[in-house]
Amino acid sequence: MLDLKKYPDVAAYVQAVAEPKWFTEKRIEALDELKNLKMPSFQKIRYRNWPIRVKKDLNNVKSEIPLPEDIDENAVTMVQTGQQTLLTNVSEKLQKQGVIICDWKTALDEHPELVKKYFMQKAIKITENKLTAEHVAKLTSGILVYIPKNVILKDPLTMYFIQDALQKIDYVHHVLLVADINSEVSYLENILTVGTEKTTANIIVEVIALEGSHVKFASVDRLGKNTTVYLNRRGYLKRDAKIDWSLGMMSDGNIVGDYDSELVGAGSHAETKVVAISTGEQVQGIDTRVTNYGRNSIGHILQHGVILQRSNLVFNGIGHVEKGAIGADAQQESRVLMLSRYARGDANPILLIDDNNVTAGHAASVGRVDEQQLYYLMSRGLPKKMAERLVIRGFLGPVLAAIPSRSIQIELENMIERKLVDGQKDE
Amino acid sequence: MSTLEVKDLHVSIEGKNILKGVNLKLATGEIHAIMGPNGTGKSTLSEAIMGNPAYKVDQGEILLDGENILDLPVDERARAGLFLAMQYPAEIPGVTNAEFIRGAINARRAEDNPISVRNFLKKLDKTMSFLDMTEEMADRYLNEGFSGGEKKRNEILQLMMIEPKFAILDEIDSGLDIDALKVVSKGVNEMRGQDFGSLIITHYQRLLNYIVPDVVHVMMDGRIVAQGGPELAKQLEDEGYAGLRDELGLDIKLTDEDA
């Protein structure tokens, strides 16, 4: 018998949702350990006074958010609002191939072996820090995606995760994506907020890329102004696996983004592309790391960000080559463009090299808009704000051009344009 | 008919007086040339008319159709009908030439009435072929990696696409070989007509063999010191700026003159 006396909210919740006991045990483990754990620490990212801790009781809450009009029901794989799943489209063909795409509740009920094997086991540990433990303790939504051995999915999977800020509830969400040996998948997640209540989001994404698999992972984050976010995306790569991360950070609130790739297998390869736009008074702290353990593993980071108004953007780029990672390659480039004199930005390269026989490099810059470029564009009649957007597009271009999917490039371009237009309104 | 008038213009840059009272009037249908030695303020005049924020107007007026435009920012002056073909056009990565030109044309039209893509492409193709530009130039990023000659041609392409009332050409001939010079001149001559006026700034008389001006102004030391017809340019070619200066009895040291 589980002793839940200490945690009456957990007891009530697990009974309400009929949660399997083995998962509740993980919650208890996390809760018991919480007091012994530290907050994660990132250079130059100060977030300690943010309401980033998930403090509210575990609660089974219904959301009243309807399917957003701009979502094409037939073109998306899954839509979740708050803790609910509004729709799931998994074709018969995919099911026959053994592909699993289901919400978290279904994952616990029907695929315990997968969850037990991979959930917070390989890429991240439950007890890594206070926020990862809180994540497990308070987890209430998520998905499991499993691509079987040798299955190659041509069409991308498209997810919409909608945070419910119409109510004062925390959003704790987990994505577990497992690409089995020699499989290939392209995955896009849109995370957005409906509502303006002050809320906290704790989101962890684990991508497990087994031997020879290839995952193209893209995201467009549009979390709301009043949502404080801890967003941890982590890849775990076995031999010759590859992950292409294309991450568009278009959220409007304060956010800590922790994007890491553990290059465990020989010849594994992670390409991380980040595009970020900060507006208003928001702070975005982005800590992107590649850690080479495997021989001849490759970890590349390319991140460009634009800062408007009084906002703040920090890019940390960490290339960590462990001893024994002979022939490894760790490269990174972080660039920040500031559009206002009140904006603050930082690009902070960190290389930690523990083996000799490797290649590594970094480039970083923080700069302002080129006045000559603006003048030239405006001299042809373009209004200043439009001219600024064109200069910004040019600045972000190298990252967008390096994103492997054309449709995701276009999606990101549109989102960038939208966020910039919104951000410029208040100037 | 439109007019562009510069009255008693004084301009400084970083605290240094460059223009010391320039007067000039031009109307559509006319082409004027401004000649002068290096460092005399020709480019400053063109940047000040266009509205480059780096140049400070200390005194005087710039009137477009009688309205003072000094308070307008550069983009509004452009939409009011001014165009400056620059000596050193900026490179803008990530923005294609065609997309930029279409944006510039649409900036002059009502938001709900943009030029149709078809009409735009038709005009672009025609103009590019007139200027002997290859089709791929439309899809390249704006001026990025363009040679000097390509940049100048691209300025004239924009001029012909945008069709301003007044175009200032700032040393459009510098660094051009004779073939490129002919193409650029052909473009400007094509624009010539009742609805177009131009101010051509040049160091050498050579360009004026291809674009014959109605009026030639000579600038020295921040002022216009002489005016005449095309023959004045020829005279300068023969006598040099120092010759004209001495003839006029001016006490001015020319930048490139040996001490």
ipTM metric: 0.95
**Which amino acid would we find at residue A31?**
L
Residue B152 forms part of a structural domain: yes
Whether residue A409 lies inside any domain: the answer is: no
| pLDDT for residue A427 | 61
The total domain count for chain A is: 1
Q: How many CA atoms lie within 13 A of A39 on its CB side?
A: 15
For A18-27, B124-133, B231-240, B246-255, which range has the lowest pLDDT when averaged over its residues? B246-255
- The answer on pLDDT for B97 being more than 50 is yes
Q: CA–CA separation, A190 vs A263, rounded Å?
A: 26
Which of B50, B53, B107 comes nearest A383 by C-beta?
B107
Could you tell me if A395 lies within 8 Å of chain B, comparing CB atoms? yes
Q: Is A122 on the interface with B (CB under 8 A)?
A: no
The Cα B203–Cα B206 span in angstroms is: 9
Q: Which two tokens stand for residue A103?
A: 């919400």
Nearest CB to B89; choose among A376, A384, A393: A376
B48 CA: distance to closest CA in chain A (Å):
12
Q: Do A370 and B108 touch (CB under 8 A)?
A: no
For residue B253, being part of any structural domain is answered with no
* Domain assignment of residue A309, yes or no: yes
Contacts of A391 in chain B (CB under 8 A): 92
Q: Are A176 and A115 in contact (CB under 8 A)?
A: yes
Q: Establish if A382 belongs to a structural domain.
A: no
Domain annotation covers residue B189: yes
pLDDT band at B32 (very low <50, low <70, confident <90, very high): very high
Average pLDDT, chain B: 94
Tokens of A238: 């076995």
Q: How far apart are CA A387 and CA B100, in angstroms?
A: 10
Of A154, A208, A147, A212, the C-alpha closest to A182 is A212
Judge whether residue B258 has pLDDT over 60: no
| pLDDT at position A406 | 85
Q: A235: closest CA among A274, A267, A202, A204?
A: A204
**Given an 8 Å threshold on Cβ–Cβ distance, is B162 in contact with A391?**
no
- By the CB < 8 Å criterion, does B107 face chain A? yes
| H-helix or E-strand spanning residue A93 | helix A92-97
pLDDT tens digit sequence for A218-250: 999 999 999 999 999 999 999 999 999 999 999
* Buried-state track A73-95, b at ≥16 Cβ within 10 A, e below 16: eeebbbbbbbbbbbeeeeeeebe
Q: Closest approach of chain A CAs to the CA of B89, in angstroms?
A: 7
Question: Contact, A416 vs A250, CB < 8 A?
Answer: yes
* Interchain pair A377, B73: CB under 8 A: no
Number of folded domains in chain B?
A: 1
Q: Kindly indicate the confidence band of residue B256, based on its pLDDT and cuts at 50, 70 and 90.
A: low
B259 — pLDDT class (breaks 50, 70, 90): very low
**A195 occurs within a structural domain:** yes
Q: Which of B46, B74, B97 to mutate to test the interface with A (most CBs of A within 10 A)?
A: B74
Q: Is A425 helix (H, G, I), strand (E, B) or coil?
A: helix
The verdict on residue B258 lying in a domain is no
| Residue A219 domain boundaries | 8-368
Q: Tens digit of pLDDT for each residue in B171-195?
A: 998 888 888 899 999 999 999 999 9
- Whole-angstrom Cα distance, residue A415 to residue A70? 13
Does a structural domain hold residue B256? no
Residues in a beta bridge with A51: none
Q: How many CB atoms lie within 10 A of CB A328?
A: 29
The residue assigned the tokens 């301003």 is B164
Rounded to a whole number of angstroms, the distance from the CA of B103 to the nearest CA of chain A is 7
Q: How far is CA B195 from CA A184, A334, B31, B66, B192, in A?
A: 61, 50, 12, 17, 8
Q: Is A148 helix (H, G, I), strand (E, B) or coil?
A: coil
Inter-chain residue contact A394 with B78, CB threshold 8 Å: no
Q: Is the CA virtual torsion B46, B52, B58, B61 positive or negative?
A: positive
Assess if residue B20 is contained within a domain. yes
Q: Is B250 on the interface with A (CB under 8 A)?
A: no
B254 lies in some domain: no
CB contacts < 8 Å between A and B, how many?
A: 73
Q: How far is the alpha carbon of A373 from chain B, nearest alpha carbon, in Å?
A: 5
* Ramachandran sector of residue B29 (left: φ over 0; alpha: ψ -120 to 50; beta: rest): left
SS3 B214: coil
Note whether residue B190 is domain-resident: yes
Structure confidence by residue, pLDDT tens digits, B118-134 = 999 999 999 999 999 99
The residue segments making up the domain with residue B198 are: 3-248
Best to test chain A binding among B13, B92, B146 (most A CBs inside 10 Å): B92
Q: In a structure prediction context, what are the per-residue pLDDT tens digits for chain A, which is 427 residues long?
A: 577 889 999 999 999 999 999 999 999 999 999 999 999 999 999 999 999 999 999 999 999 999 999 899 999 999 999 999 999 999 999 999 999 999 999 999 999 999 999 999 999 999 999 999 999 999 999 999 999 999 999 999 999 999 999 999 999 999 999 999 999 999 999 999 999 999 999 999 999 999 999 999 999 999 999 999 999 999 999 999 999 999 999 999 999 999 999 999 999 999 999 999 999 999 999 999 999 999 999 999 999 999 999 999 999 999 999 999 999 999 999 999 999 889 999 999 999 999 999 999 999 999 998 999 999 999 999 999 999 999 998 899 888 888 888 888 888 888 898 889 888 876 6
CB contact under 8 A, B78 and A393: no
**Which uninterrupted H or E stretch holds B155?**
helix B148-162
Share of chain B above pLDDT 90, in %: 81
Instruction: For residue A319, give the nearest of A258, A362, A269 by alpha carbon.
Output: A362
pLDDT for res A426: 65
Provide the shortest C-alpha distance from residue A402 to chain B (in Å): 13
Residue A395 domain flag: no
CA distances from B201 to A375, B80, B150, B218, B256 (A): 20, 21, 19, 10, 18
Looking up residue B90, the CATH number of its domain turns out to be: 3.40.50.300
Is A234 a domain residue?
yes
Q: Is B4 exposed, middle or buried (0-12, 13-18, 19+ CB in 10 A)?
A: buried
Query: Does B249 or B67 have the greater pLDDT score?
Result: B67
For chain A, first and last CA: distance in Å?
60
Non-local CB neighbours of A113 within 8 Å, separated by 6+ positions: none
Q: Which residues on chain B are in Cβ contact (under 8 Å) with A372?
A: 90
Question: Any bridge partners for residue B215, and if so which?
Answer: B32
